[in-house]
């Protein structure tokens, strides 16, 4: 394991008298290379970095609404009104991407910055201009834009009409997508329709941990899941039929993709069920040969709904036409992977409002981060990629997020070890034939971490949120990531000189 290489080196030199140079040479020979053409990037999302929440015609989204009306449901009672001020500092952001030497940058668009009414009747020129400026600045330096259409910011007015629980949202979203493809399709070749449907539906509609905090578990979350998949598929087909022939880009979705490991050999089925209710809920309809929600989900929700006295399953079914429209509606699978859970079979009562009969948890002994839910288990990524290969016919994978949280501070050795270990696990999977084409670090810079506010930091660059110009400073991990990207290799003992960050030639 990479983590232990430095210790081994230390022990070898100290106790076994081996020559330092000899061992360093041996370690250097074992340095693993990334495949040719592999794309390295970093990611952000509009609400988390842009600020300018009501500038130049932008209207209210569900996150503006939540943070303004219920401010202290965010840990530090903060909001994204200014955030990292990327609306004004995008040139510095692109400069950071150049400093890191990245191949791609994943960012998202704010729906109401482009369409203030939520609908295409009024296109906001200033909003379009902002994204044109950002995209053009990237193109100028050969950085591929990877654009997410929806990273959780529904127009508040659409929410008032039911949001993702209203079946009409599928057309509202498809119309917005068409405008976006028309405006930016000539320069953007990587599209992500929706970021983390699980968080949108299960957290936003099934609980209170994301906007719009509906808390209607087992009802609204399933309506949301169905509509969101239909919206995604409509968008995919619009691009495929009308834009792909002239622009040739690719379209996918970014799934929240944690790994569920059986607690023991007897718990394989339970962990598998957890996977079906997790990533499977969204990936199975698109990537499995038979399409539709996973069979186990359909059976469990239907049986529990009947036992609870409902006249029909709470899991809203797809029509055959919808199953066919959704199946195959992605050119790649985007995986947002952070962590792993252990799962075991449990007797869930009907009152508990949980449709899977599985409990999942993280042992306290697992190495943690600044976020309660984020434990560092790199082998989980290897298992996840293997699962995706076997269950979904080895699709092209782009890791659209992977990262680690710390408190503020520039010396982030824990983050460095996280990145090295997870990239190493990814290389194991690639060597075994998983079709991984790209890796995207979350995040380029510190940002508004949803209900955690600014209390935890994911950035390769630290942002000083106390200064008006939101100064960005590279962390040690930025220097290490830069070297990985430059050398296209994973050197486990590289120690950067963190004094000056420069832009290398060609960037």
Backbone torsions φ then ψ of 445, nearest 5 degrees: -145, 165
The distance of closest approach from Cβ of residue 154 to ligand NOJ in the complex, given in angstroms and rounded to an integer, is 15
Binding of residue 194 to ligand NOJ (CB under 6 A): no
Is the CB of 285 or the CB of 334 nearer to ligand NOJ? 334
Residue 322 interacts with ligand NOJ (CB under 6 A): yes or no: no
Contact between 430 and ligand NOJ by CB under 6 A: the answer reads no
Interatomic CA distance for residues 183 and 440, integer angstroms: 25
Q: Cβ of residue 256: shortest distance to ligand NOJ, in angstroms?
A: 7
Chain positions 444 to 473 lying near ligand NOJ, rule: CB under 6 A, are: 449, 458
The nearer residue to ligand NOJ, 81 or 483, going by C-beta atoms, is 81
Return the number of the residue (221 or 452) whose C-beta is nearest ligand NOJ.
452
Q: 40-62: b or e for each residue (b if 16 or more CB lie within 10 Å)?
A: bbbbbbbbbbbbbbeeeebbbbb
What x/- string results for residues 43 through 72 when contact with ligand NOJ is judged by CB under 6 A? --x--x------------------------
* Residue among 61, 170, 336, 402 that touches ligand NOJ (CB under 6 A): 336
Rounded Cα–Cα distance for residues 459 and 76 (Å): 18
- Number of C-beta neighbours around residue 350 at 10 A: 11
Min separation Cβ 211 and ligand NOJ, Å? 12
Please give the angle made by the CA atoms of 285, 289 and 293, to the nearest 5 degrees: 25
User: Between residues 155 and 403, which has the closer beta carbon with respect to ligand NOJ?
Assistant: 403
As a whole number of angstroms, the distance between CA 207 and CA 126 comes to: 35
Does 202 engage in binding with ligand NOJ (CB under 6 A)? no
Residue with tokens 């996280």: 418
Is position 195 an interface residue for ligand NOJ (rule: CB under 6 A)?
Answer: yes
CB of residue 48 to ligand NOJ, shortest distance in Å: 6
Smaller CB separation from ligand NOJ, 9 or 253: 253
Q: Quick count: other Cβ atoms within 10 Å of Cβ 121?
A: 9
Q: What are the DSSP calls for 145-210, one per residue?
A: EEEEEESS--BHHHHHTTGGGSTTHHHHHHHHHHHHHHHHTTT--EEEEEE-HHIIIIITTSSSSS
Cβ-Cβ contacts under 8 Å for 171 (sequence gap 6 or more): 234
Tell me the site size for ligand NOJ, rule CB under 6 A. Answer: 9
Cα Rg of the chain (Å, integer): 23
Taking the C-alpha atoms of residue 410 and residue 459, their distance in angstroms, rounded to an integer, is 10
Catalytic residue among 137, 401, 449, 452: 401
Residue 401 binds ligand NOJ, judged by CB under 6 A: yes
Task: Provide the token pair at 249.
Answer: 């880009």
Q: If binding is defined by CB under 6 A, does position 103 make contact with ligand NOJ?
A: no
Q: Binding ligand NOJ by CB under 6 A: which of 64, 93, 196, 292?
A: 196
- Report, in Å, the least distance between residue 196 CB and ligand NOJ: 5
Site track for ligand NOJ across 4-43, x = CB under 6 A: ----------------------------------------
We find the least distance from the C-beta atom of residue 463 to ligand NOJ, in angstroms, to be 14
Alpha-carbon span 110 to 371, nearest angstrom: 26
Asked about 401 being catalytic, the answer comes back as yes
Indicate whether 105 belongs to the interface with ligand NOJ (CB under 6 A). no
Question: Helices marked H in 316-436 — which ranges?
Answer: 320-326, 379-391, 413-431
Query: Closer to ligand NOJ at the Cβ: 110 or 336?
Result: 336
DSSP, collapsed to helix, strand or coil, labels residue 425 as: helix
Contact by Cβ (8 Å): 134, 107: yes
| Residue of the chain from 293, 442, 461, 479 that contacts ligand NOJ (CB under 6 A) | 442
Residues annotated catalytic, as ranges: 401
Which residues in this chain contact ligand NOJ in the complex, by CB under 6 A? 45, 48, 195-196, 336, 401, 442, 449, 458
């Amino acid at each position: 394991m990479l983590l232990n290489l430095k210790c081994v080196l230390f022990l070898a030199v100290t106790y076994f008298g081996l020559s330092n140079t000899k061992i360093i040479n041996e370690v250097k020979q074992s340095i693993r290379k990334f495949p040719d053409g592999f794309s390295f990037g970093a990611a952000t999302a509009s609400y988390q970095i842009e600020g300018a929440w009501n500038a130049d015609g932008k209207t209210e989204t569900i996150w503006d609404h939540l943070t303004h009306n219920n401010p202290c449901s965010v840990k530090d009672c903060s909001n994204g009104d200014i955030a990292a001020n990327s609306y004004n500092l995008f040139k510095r952001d692109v400069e950071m991407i150049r400093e890191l030497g990245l191949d791609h940058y994943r960012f998202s668009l704010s729906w109401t910055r482009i369409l203030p009414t939520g609908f295409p009747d009024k296109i906001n020129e200033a909003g379009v201009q902002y994204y044109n400026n950002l995209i053009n600045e990237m193109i100028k330096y050969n950085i591929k834009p990877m654009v997410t259409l929806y990273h959780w910011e529904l127009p508040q007015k659409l929410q008032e009409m039911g949001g993702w629980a209203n079946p009409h949202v599928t057309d509202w979203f498809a119309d917005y997508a068409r405008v976006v493809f028309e405006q930016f399709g000539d320069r953007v070749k990587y599209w992500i329709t929706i970021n983390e449907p699980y968080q949108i539906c299960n957290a936003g509609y099934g609980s209170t941990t994301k906007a719009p905090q509906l808390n209607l578990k087992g009802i609204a979350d399933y309506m949301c899941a169905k509509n969101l998949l239909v919206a995604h598929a409509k968008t995919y087909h619009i691009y495929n039929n009308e834009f792909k022939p002239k622009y040739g880009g690719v379209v996918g979705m970014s799934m929240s993709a944690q790994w569920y490991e059986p607690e023991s050999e007897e718990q394989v089925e339970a962990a598998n069920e957890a996977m079906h209710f997790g990533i499977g809920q969204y990936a199975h309809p698109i990537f499995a040969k038979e399409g539709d929600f996973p069979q186990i989900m359909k059976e469990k929700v239907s049986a529990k709904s009947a036992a609870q006295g409902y006249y029909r399953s709470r899991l809203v079914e797809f029509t055959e036409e919808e199953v066919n429209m959704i199946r195959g509606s992605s050119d790649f699978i985007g995986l947002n992977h952070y962590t792993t859970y252990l799962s075991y079979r449990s007797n869930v009562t009907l009152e508990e409002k949980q449709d899977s009969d599985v409990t999942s948890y993280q042992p306290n002994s697992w190495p943690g981060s600044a976020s309660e839910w984020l434990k560092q288990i790199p082998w989980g990524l290897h298992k996840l990629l293997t699962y995706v290969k076997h269950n979904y016919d080895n699709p092209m994978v782009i890791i659209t997020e992977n990262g680690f949280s710390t408190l503020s501070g520039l010396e982030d050795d824990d983050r460095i070890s996280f990145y090295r270990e997870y990239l190493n696990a990814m290389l194991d999977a690639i060597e075994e034939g998983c079709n991984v084409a790209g890796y995207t670090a979350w995040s380029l810079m510190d940002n508004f971490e949803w209900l955690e506010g600014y209390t935890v930091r994911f950035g390769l660059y630290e942002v000083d949120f106390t200064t008006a110009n939101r100064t960005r400073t590279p962390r040690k991990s930025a220097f290490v990531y830069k070297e990985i990207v430059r050398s296209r290799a994973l050197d486990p003992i590289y120690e950067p000189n963190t004094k000056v960050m420069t832009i290398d030639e060609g960037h």
